[in-house]
Amino acid sequence: MLNLFTLVLQIAVILAVCRLTGSLFRKMHQPRVVGEMFAGILLGPSLLGWIAPQFSAYLFPQSSLGFLNALSQVGVVIFMFLVGLGINPKELKKQGHAAILTSHVSITAPFVLAAFLSLYLYPRLSDDSVAFASFALFMGASMSITAFPVLARILAERDMLGSRLGTLAVACAAVDDVTGWCILAYIVVLIRAAHATTSIWVTLGGIVIFALVMIYGVRRLLQGYETVYRRTNGLSENMLAFMLLLVLASALCTEWLGIHLLFGSFLMGAIMPKEPKFVRYILDRFETITVTLLLPLFFAFTGLRTNIGLVKGQEMWMYSGLIILVAVLGKLGGSMVASWLSGMPLREAAGLGTLMNTRGLMELVILNIGLDIKVISPALFSMMVMMALVTTFMTTPVLELICPDKMIRATMPVEAMQPVSVEGLDLEARPGSAA
Amino acid sequence: MTRTNRNFVIAYALLVALPVAGLLGVLRYGSSLQAPVSVDGVWEVQSDRSPFAALLCGQSFATAEDLAITISQSGKGFSLDLANGFRTKAAGVIEGNTLSASLSPPAVRSSAAGCETGRVLQLTASVDPKAEPKTLAGVLSVADCSACVPVEFRAIRPAPARKRGPH
């Protein structure tokens, strides 16, 4: 039964800890979201549950976690819509061969390396209820993801959005995210199909039909939103509510089809009109409550599922080190080599690799799905969360080291020196926005 | 084909197509790998629990209404939670089809006579991987106590419910 007092207390504590930790990380020149991710870990069994188990059990009783999870999932559904909204496939086309090669290598390199690592990890960290293919594909998808919003935030904070490096990174990250989510959708279908009564082909057919209807049917209807926005310079509350309803309906469709709620909301965002002012307007309406209230709940819920205590003994820490090494080598190394071969100077190429190595919140979203469908074990989940934190945390200092501001500014055209936005993601003006 | 395009095709083949082919090889090879038997989930203890009353430090198991073993597995390692009113927790390992775990103080808490701090309960069980639903058969004994008689138990893990809907 819902204990309202406990739930409100939880939300209050989570918000306070997230804001505090986020501010501390801002002082360390890290994006706020990195601090909020750490805050989640601090509130879970890895720290609070370890040093004050009774207080932790009082604050987060097992019976209350379902409500916290439900609230956080609503937040992630809306967040994924906003992520999809910020992605514009046309960005890639502008970048030419370099972007195509770099984005594809930045997916395949970590993916294949993760699959090789799976040969070693599967007999040690999985069990026979999970097929090797599902395990390896999941590891690949989770290592090849790039946190598009965090990356955009870092670029904006360093005034790099208009640079050659910035535009290429944003285009590649968008492709990575879309590809990563498609692969993940396939894995979820595979795993869920094992427990389902309907053939996998019926499920896949349903998903393809749904995607086609969305891309070729619903997308055209959504242009109406942009038309109204242009005419009236805004949207009525009813129109915004209907947009939310469409997001939820799309999420429910993909959940019913056997993938996940988040795919539907992401797809709805991806097919929305991409006129920058319109995108900015929608972000303004939905972002604040999602980023300041609901996403911290997701971080806390993830932290409550992360138990670094499960990673014990030399062997387990070695696995963690290997995971981080492979993730960095595949993503940073792969992107760097590909962009260097495409003609980018070595330091800039290394900077691009560093940016692409940012996994952030997107990684946590994927890992939670993996734990829910039991394709990864709790210990592996904790190791992967550590990898997400390390790779996200390292981005800013490594980038500062490899590509100092002076060097980036030298590659920027004069007009790009002005603050710019990525399809409306005007992040520098919003200290608490877009995780 | 221009020189730029040719270079692009070569680079793409080497950096994208070749690794993807390698991935297929990895998936093919990996399908022959053997992972530890799955024991994750809630196991309902089926056997008569009255013998637990005679087991030193095991009295609480005999009086529990629904004795269940909840296992959270991570590869060869697992944590075990005996929902016996005392929420006895322990960690263990899986070797082949055999599970072993030690339930040591302060996890084992009982006010029964003779169950002093320092006593360790040893759980050893084997899982039948082919049975459906899966069954776990084993013994619970007191370590370093030759006079203590081990108690046998049997538990089953109900098969997961099939999902409804198109999937």
Q: Is residue A402 part of a domain?
A: yes
The alpha carbon of residue A425 is apart from the nearest alpha carbon of chain B, in Å, by: 31
Q: Do B36 and A337 touch (CB under 8 A)?
A: no
- pLDDT at B128 (0 to 100): 86
Task: Say which of B19, B35, B166 has its CB closest to residue A256.
Answer: B166
Q: Is residue A433 part of a domain?
A: no
Q: Is residue A342 part of a domain?
A: yes
- pLDDT at A168 (0 to 100): 84
Segment (H or E) for B78: strand B77-83
A418: three-class secondary structure by DSSP: coil
Segment (H or E) for A292: none
Nearest to B89 by CA among A221, A49, A22: A49
Tens digit of pLDDT per residue, chain A (435 long)? Answer: 668 899 999 999 999 999 999 999 999 888 888 899 899 999 999 899 999 988 999 999 988 889 999 999 899 899 889 988 887 767 666 666 777 888 899 999 999 999 999 999 999 999 998 999 999 999 999 999 888 777 877 787 777 767 778 878 888 887 887 888 888 888 888 777 776 666 778 878 888 999 999 999 999 999 999 999 999 999 999 999 999 999 999 999 998 887 888 889 999 998 999 898 999 999 999 988 898 899 999 999 999 989 888 888 899 999 999 999 999 999 999 999 998 988 888 998 999 999 999 988 888 989 999 998 889 999 999 999 999 999 999 998 998 898 887 776 666 654 444 443 443 333 333 333 444
CA distances from A301 to A150, A184, A255, A297, A383 (A): 20, 21, 21, 6, 16
Q: Is residue A430 part of a domain?
A: no
Q: Could you give the number of structural domains in chain A?
A: 1
Q: Is residue A45 part of a domain?
A: yes
Dist CA B4 CA A428 (whole Å): 37
Nearest to B122 by CA among B105, B100, B89: B100
Interface of B with A in 113-142 (CB under 8 A): 129
The alpha carbon of residue B25 is apart from the nearest alpha carbon of chain A, in Å, by: 10
Q: Is residue A348 part of a domain?
A: yes
Beta strands B41-45 and B68-74: pairing type? antiparallel
Output the domain CATH number for residue A78: 1.20.1530.20
**B41-157 is a CATH 2.40.128.30 domain:** yes
B88: three-class secondary structure by DSSP: strand
Task: Say which of B19, B27, B39 has its CB closest to residue A109.
Answer: B19
What sign has the CA pseudo-torsion A52, A54, A57, A59? negative
Tens digit of pLDDT per residue, chain B (167 long)? Answer: 677 778 788 888 888 999 999 999 999 999 999 999 999 988 888 877 677 776 766 666 666 666 788 898 999 999 888 765 555 678 889 999 999 998 765 544 555 545 666 677 888 999 987 888 888 998 888 877 777 778 888 888 886 544 434 44
- Longest Cα pair distance anywhere in chain B, in angstroms? 88
Say how many residues make up chain A: 435
Measured between CB atoms, does A197 come within 8 Å of chain B?
yes
Q: Do B36 and A127 touch (CB under 8 A)?
A: yes
- pLDDT at A417 (0 to 100): 44
Q: Do B163 and A97 touch (CB under 8 A)?
A: no
> Could you tell me if A282 and A272 are in contact, meaning their C-beta atoms sit under 8 angstroms apart?
yes
> Could you tell me if A177 and A87 are in contact, meaning their C-beta atoms sit under 8 angstroms apart?
yes
Q: To the nearest 10°, the Cα dihedral for A33, A35, A39, A41?
A: 90
Contacts of B20 in chain A (CB under 8 A): 108, 112
Taking the model in full, what pTM does it have? Answer: 0.83
- Break chain B into its structural domains and give their ranges: 1-33, 41-157
Residues A249, A251, A255: CA angle, nearest 5 degrees: 115
Q: Do A129 and B38 touch (CB under 8 A)?
A: yes
Which two tokens mark A369?
């799905």
- pLDDT at A177 (0 to 100): 79
Dist CA A256 CA A203 (whole Å): 10
Measured between CB atoms, does B36 come within 8 Å of chain A?
yes
Residues B83, B84, B90: CA angle, nearest 5 degrees: 60
Residue holding tokens 């379902």?
A66
> Could you tell me if A391 and A178 are in contact, meaning their C-beta atoms sit under 8 angstroms apart?
no
Q: Is residue A244 part of a domain?
A: yes
CA distances from A190 to A194, A314, A375, B21, B107 (A): 7, 34, 11, 21, 39
- A67, amino acid identity: F
Residue holding tokens 């306070």?
A16
